[in-house]
Structures are given as structure tokens and as C-alpha cells.
């Protein structure tokens, strides 16, 4: 077998394969910080709330990836079978067509053998080859591992996915990463070596990996001391650069409106916040009904308006498709009126793009509200929103966190 003492080289120049996803942090309540751009400050002063992670906050300070669970070494847990089940569940929910779906126990057993965190390997595989379905994942090279070339390209090919997985463990268990002389101790250090900032968006890569790791370890208790003083909910989403999509930007979209979503929403089936049990939400501020027609609707993130069209042929009622530059997802808005943007416009998070329309804009006579969802991911590629058969469950985590951040 060829040498594993190499990181991924610039020859691939971060071929993204459409695999982005949104970044996760490990704490429940990100703290609003003062270091905003002028544009963001204007949004905040207008009553639309921006959130960011305060790196001085002890809850968010340990985002490097260390400790008994979220570090690069095999986690200090007693129930490895639950870890294997969680890995399988993550792959099943993310990409059920992945050839790695049946190898969750392999990830864990090899992790124990090499003393490497299996969730780290899974997360890097998701980032690099969409869980083995894209790029060199099709040659059983699950992370674009480069070692001088066994297939004429500089990237290794393997006879099975199990061999490809083990090769990555061996790579991390080398002097370039976890063993001497490097002796790296955090996920951030591993990713900085694997995908250096000179060639990659490393600052986005690190929270992407930590987010997946925290999802995999949700519900698994550490066998030792916690990594930091953070006591928030593992797996909550980083809301920096996002805005709650409906005025008045307070927690008044939650109760007293029978047909609207009640937060927090379920984040797995059966989804509780939409009438068809899909991962979508209907947001209606109090008091509800047509009295809320005209309520401002905001861009959930920076992005580009891909589509504005009349909803179901109802005059004055519109749907919009927003392609986010923050996370690459497609957000679908509908039941709106008085649209403020046009197809092709670039928008910023918190910018008003429309208003909630009257009841007629729902098409079925239910009370006025905003419907919003985002498209699912197919083979690593985000799809457009608005289809009940292709809605991303991760949106529920984001919208719950955005709501919980709002003042009462």
C-alpha cells in the first residue's frame, strides 16, 4: 500500500461537488456580538435581529473540536453499539443511497483499532465525496486521499469501501496528524492540515465537520468529564448570517394561531409543524387571520432570488425561490403579496422581500401565513424548494434555533 503521510493536495483545488450544508455549533444560545458590518447594523437597528457566535463566550469558545467526545481520538463512551447506530442513522437520513450505509460498525471498529474518532471520518467523507457517492468516492477513496497515485491521477483507489475507510484512519494515525511529530489534539488542527486555508475555505470546513460530529453524538453521554463549560444542546445550529423570515422578529409567531406552526418543531418524522407532516413551517404572527396581511417577510440569508411567480394563478399572490449564498440551499416562500424583489436580484439576510398575503393567497382559505421550506439534497446537490417530496429536515433545526433566539 502506498504512503499515507500526505494531506490532500491542491491538485483538486477544492472541487466542491455541491456539498455545502450549513455550519453547526455546539451551544444552544449564540450571543449577539457588536462586530457587525454597517449593513448588518442597519438591519439590526431596523428591528430585524442578526445573530453571531461570540468567541469570548465560554459556551462557544471550544469550537476547535476537542474533549472526550468531539475530539479527533476515539470517544470516551461506553456504548459503542449506539455510536454505530447513530452513524447508520445519520447516513440513512442524509443519503440513503450511500454505499457506506452498511458500514457503520466498520467505522466504529476501525476507530477503536486506530484510536481515531469515527464521526470525524464520517464527517470528512460527507464533505469530500458526499458519503462515497461523488468524485473519488467512486474509486472507494472516500476523502480524496492523495498519496502519490495508485490510479494514475495521484489519488488512491481501493478494492472496497472498507479498504478506503481504513486507509483514511491510517492517514490520520500518522506523523502528519495525530502521531509524532505533529501530535495534533483537535479537529480544527486536523482539518487545517488536511484542507489548509491557502487552498480551502477551512473556516467553514471546521464547523461543518463539528456539526456532523455533534449530530452523530446526540444522545450519547461521555464517559469522562465534559470538554468545556458549555451545557447547551449538542447539535444546535449556528445562526450567524441568518434572519428569522417574518416580522415582528419576536416570539409571537408561536401560539394563539391554530393553523400556524408551533415552535419548537419536531426535527424528525413525524414532523409536527406542517399539515402534511413534511419539514416545512407556516408562520403567522398573532393575532392571525387577514389582520396580519402585510406583515413583512424577510430573506432568511444572503442569496439570489431565482424565481418570483404568481401563486396558483391567484392575482396579487406570489411564491419566491431564494438560492442562499450562505449555505447553498434553495428556500421556497409562498402565500405572499407585494413582492419587493425581482428574479435575479441579490438580497441580504434580513432584507424585506415581500409581505404575508391575505387568506386567499393560501389557495385553500386557511388563515394568512408565510409558508417556507428548503429543498432536499440529492446525491450531494441541493434541490429547489417547494416540493413536499423533497424537503430538507435540517431546516427544522435552523428555524427552531432562529425562533429560540428571538426576544419574547
Q: What is the DSSP string of 134-165?
A: SGGGGGT-TT--BSS-SSSSSB---SSHHHHH
Same domain, 103 and 190: yes
How many CA atoms lie less than 13 Å away from 366 in the CB half-sphere?
A: 18
Same domain, 82 and 210: yes
Residue 39 lies in a domain: no
pLDDT given at position 108: 96
How many CA atoms lie less than 13 Å away from 324 in the CB half-sphere?
A: 29
Nearest CA among 399, 5, 328 for reference residue 171? 5
Q: How many domains does the chain have?
A: 2
Residues 111, 199: Cα–Cα separation, whole Å:
28
The conformation of residue 365, written as its DSSP 8-state character, comes to -
Residue 56 lies in a domain: no
Same domain, 302 and 190: no
How many CA atoms lie less than 13 Å away from 390 in the CB half-sphere?
A: 16
DSSP string, 94-137: H-TT-TTGGGHHHHHHHHHHHT--HHHHHHHHHHHHTTTTSGGG
pLDDT given at position 285: 87
Same domain, 166 and 70: yes
Same domain, 302 and 183: no
Same domain, 194 and 291: no
Q: Is 137 left (phi over 0), alpha (psi -120 to 50) or beta?
A: alpha
Q: Take residue 324 and report the three cell numbers written for it.
A: 442562499
pLDDT given at position 112: 95
CATH number at residue 133: 1.10.530.10
- Mean pLDDT by groups of 10 residues along the chain of 408 residues: 37 30 29 39 36 29 60 86 91 88 94 95 87 75 62 69 89 92 91 88 80 76 34 52 88 76 82 87 87 94 94 94 93 97 95 95 86 86 87 89 84
Residue 208 lies in a domain: yes
Q: Looking at 216, 233, 250, which one is the last position of a domain?
A: 216
pLDDT given at position 54: 28
Q: Which helix (H) or strand (E) holds 81?
A: helix 80-94
Residue 266 lies in a domain: no
Same domain, 94 and 206: yes
pLDDT given at position 153: 56
Residue 239 lies in a domain: no
Q: Is residue 191 a contact partner of residue 121, using CB atoms and an 8 Å limit? A: no
Q: Looking at 180, 195, 216, which one is the last position of a domain?
A: 216
pLDDT given at position 317: 95
Residue 95 lies in a domain: yes
Residues 346, 348: Cα–Cα separation, whole Å:
7
Residues 66, 129: Cα–Cα separation, whole Å:
24
Same domain, 316 and 189: no
Nearest CA among 304, 339, 310 for reference residue 322? 304
Report the predicted TM-score, pTM, of the whole model to 2 decimal places.
0.47
Same domain, 172 and 285: no
Same domain, 327 and 191: no
Same domain, 70 and 185: yes
Rounded alpha-carbon distances, angstroms, from residue 208 to 66, 153, 178: 15, 27, 20
Rounded alpha-carbon distances, angstroms, from residue 302 to 21, 40, 305, 320, 349: 15, 11, 10, 14, 5
Domain that holds residue 355: 281-405
CATH number at residue 333: 2.70.70.10
pLDDT given at position 389: 82
Residue 235 lies in a domain: no
Residue 272 lies in a domain: no
Q: Looking at 199, 216, 233, which one is the last position of a domain?
A: 216
Same domain, 172 and 305: no
Amino acid at each position: 500500500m502506498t504512503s499515507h503521510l500526505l494531506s490532500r493536495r491542491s491538485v483538486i483545488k477544492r472541487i466542491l461537488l455541491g456539498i455545502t450544508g450549513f455550519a453547526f455549533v455546539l451551544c444552544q444560545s449564540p450571543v449577539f456580538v457588536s462586530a457587525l458590518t454597517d449593513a448588518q447594523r442597519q438591519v439590526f437597528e431596523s428591528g430585524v435581529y442578526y445573530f453571531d457566535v461570540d468567541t469570548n463566550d465560554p459556551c462557544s469558545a471550544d469550537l476547535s473540536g476537542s474533549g472526550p467526545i468531539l475530539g479527533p481520538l476515539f470517544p470516551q463512551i461506553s456504548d459503542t453499539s449506539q455510536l454505530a447506530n447513530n452513524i447508520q442513522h445519520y447516513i440513512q437520513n442524509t443519503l440513503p443511497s450511500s454505499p457506506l450505509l452498511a458500514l457503520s460498525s466498520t467505522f466504529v471498529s476501525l476507530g477503536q483499532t486506530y484510536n481515531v474518532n469515527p464521526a470525524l471520518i464520517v464527517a470528512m467523507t460527507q464533505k469530500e465525496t458526499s458519503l462515497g457517492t461523488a468524485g473519488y468516492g467512486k474509486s472507494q477513496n472516500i476523502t480524496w486521499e492523495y498519496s502519490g497515485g495508485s490510479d494514475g491521477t495521484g489519488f488512491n483507489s481501493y478494492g472496497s469501501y472498507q479498504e478506503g475507510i481504513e486507509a483514511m484512519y491510517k492517514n490520520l494515525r500518522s506523523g502528519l496528524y495525530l502521531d509524532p511529530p505533529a501530535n495534533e489534539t483537535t479537529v480544527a488542527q486536523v482539518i487545517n492540515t488536511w484542507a489548509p486555508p491557502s487552498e480551502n475555505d477551512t473556516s467553514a470546513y471546521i464547523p461543518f465537520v463539528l456539526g456532523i460530529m455533534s449530530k452523530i453524538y446526540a444522545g450519547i453521554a461521555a464517559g469522562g468529564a465534559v470538554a468545556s463549560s458549555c451545557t447547551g444542546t449538542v447539535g444546535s445550529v449556528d445562526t450567524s448570517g441568518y434572519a428569522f423570515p417574518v416580522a415582528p422578529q419576536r416570539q409571537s409567531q408561536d401560539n394563539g394561531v391554530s393553523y400556524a406552526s408551533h415552535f419548537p418543531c419536531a426535527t424528525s418524522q413525524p414532523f409536527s409543524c406542517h399539515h402534511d407532516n413534511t419539514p416545512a413551517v407556516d408562520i403567522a404572527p398573532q393575532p392571525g387571520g387577514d389582520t396580519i396581511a402585510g406583515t413583512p417577510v424577510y430573506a432568511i440569508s444572503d442569496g439570489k432570488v431565482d424565481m418570483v411567480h404568481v401563486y396558483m394563478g391567484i392575482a396579487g399572490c406570489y411564491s419566491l425561490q431564494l438560492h442562499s449564498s450562505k449555505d447553498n440551499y434553495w428556500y421556497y416562500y409562498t402565500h405572499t403579496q407585494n413582492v419587493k424583489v425581482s428574479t435575479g436580484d441579490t438580497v441580504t439576510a434580513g432584507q424585506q422581500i415581500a409581505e404575508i398575503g391575505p387568506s386567499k393567497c393560501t389557495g385553500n382559505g386557511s388563515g394568512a401565513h408565510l409558508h417556507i421550506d428548503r429543498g432536499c439534497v440529492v446525491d450531494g446537490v441541493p434541490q429547489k424548494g417547494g416540493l413536499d417530496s423533497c424537503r430538507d429536515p435540517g431546516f427544522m433545526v435552523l428555524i427552531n434555533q432562529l425562533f429560540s433566539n428571538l426576544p419574547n
